[in-house]
Structure 1
């Protein structure tokens, strides 16, 4: 067995209370940026569709839990009261965005990315993209140039530009754009009944066969909130099979294993610094293999 080089003894416990207090302000800001972005995505079509009611309620309930947001609480009730009046819901959402935007101004790249992810989830929450939503998406992408270094964003932008070229959106084009949005923010609430905030996006190029994972003398890094068990336990299982582990991604990392659920303390709503670093290294042709939690679980069960 190789000697483990895992997290330092004095490191703050992942998902622990102390780390939560340390990151409280940035985590609240991350959630608020995403929430406002999602509501702006709902408004992008200039109307609220009845198919958007359910995902809107799911997201509102999530942000009520996360932020104790009074507007989210009122929106949940309004969705019940005005279930047959989408114009009323549109005005309510519009008022929420107007009021909350006075207190929240996008100030950094983190804010831009989290709001963009929320916006994308909002326009795709009913699994349908219309012309107005595409126009709003392209405008937003142009206004946030710093996010365009991400290949997933570039693919989404290219698909949006192709679809809008003839002035109409076909069902196939709508599905294509929804697929690229899934790469950023995961499946919509319409698909899963689960809020998109805290989802993990699609990891392009991730291993699909658990038999491809080799443990002996390989370096593993974990990120996210694992359902498989505490990280210490997973580290132990990896070490028992001859593997090693570290707390950060570097050039000699062989596998980045990503949990099914995003970490509370990730930099962005759907990805943390480890994923960002791995994607950067992979773009240079020297990055680690990406492994979803389900594939890791099956590999550890061999």
Structure 2
């Protein structure tokens, strides 16, 4: 406990500087963990412990999302293949964020802007239609999002191709989407769409309206 505000007045221990160093360190840690393209259970547990120790106090919605999703994945102490892929996607997106300083939570999550969504937005059909998700979904883990539409007869694609009908972009992401990992799926979908392939790029908000009205 800093009874005399010694840490707060110190140029080395000032809270704002500590927060920035912690956030910057997390970006570097995310980049390091994703470098080999695989997240193991032990790596996920290490990250969970690191988050709990170093950045649990930060009022940043993306960091809080990362921690809550990670905790959910590790409830059984095992990171399965689907969870590993989703965590890899989240960390890739997070590593692309530019954190000049931790941001206080205000109106919630920041959605990617300047995205090439179809305009006008298409009506969503489910039965027999193939969906691919990219980015981080505000609704919940990707497996839960996939299960919702599989129950309606939809198919889940492993990547963007001519067989895909809809690419759904998660609403939590990096404004610099072109430089992020999930941007490659979007650019591929744009290329296919411009070549005449009937693939639609839609945001999570439209996807949720299609499901829940």
TM-score by length of 2: 0.50
